[in-house]
Amino acid sequence: MKARWIRRMYPPPEWRPGVILLIGIVIGLGFYMLSIANVASYASDDPKACINCHVMNTEYATWQVSSHAKRASCNDCHVPHNNVFNKYFFKAKDGLYHSYVYTTRTEPEAIIMHEPGQKVVQQNCIRCHDRQLKNPKQSSLMVDYDVHRTDRKCWECHREVPHGRTKSLSAASMLGKRSEDGDARMPVWLSKQLEEKENNKATK
């Protein structure tokens, strides 16, 4: 019975070459899109994976010249670290959301973390800065020390860590410096603008 139902799903013999060709085209385009989007890079912890989408250039550049760049990559702050499964599940879920926003061109002018992302970043702030949060000396001197240190979001006070005040997609002139070996993913227009800025400084 099952085999008969499956046979009914087959296209008529005269249609099969066209159907096979169409399926091959769809599969080929799918692999081509995966290659163009550099999907494999998202499985790594390389910060450059975050600038596959040009809307993240500002965040990448401001992180690159921050103190966090010496110790923490994007994934150290923006994905969970309680277990491997949760880490890659969150990356996949967040990546699909970002892909949708970028493909439909609905990204905001100022990039703001959504609620799940804020929770993860807060947890990672506490994970890395645990010693500062559990300082016995300060705890004895300040009322409700532990509450103030954990109940509020860290960036309510540390507002410029690590991305500074540069939030707008159009604030290209504030994107900071390039690394010593250059950034292969840096857009041409941005590269030219930074070179002009450096030349103007040299002539003054």
Class of domain 49-176: mainly alpha
**Domain residue spans of the chain:** 1-41, 49-176
C-alpha triplet 107, 156, 147: angle, nearest 5°: 130
pLDDT of residue 182: 46
CA distance 98 to 105: 10
Residue ranges in the chain whose pLDDT is less than 50: 172-174, 176-185
What pLDDT digit, counting tens, does each position of 37-81 carry?
Answer: 777 777 788 888 888 776 788 888 888 888 888 888 899 999 999
CA distance 132 to 144: 15
pLDDT of residue 121: 93
Tell me the pTM: 0.65
pLDDT of residue 77: 93
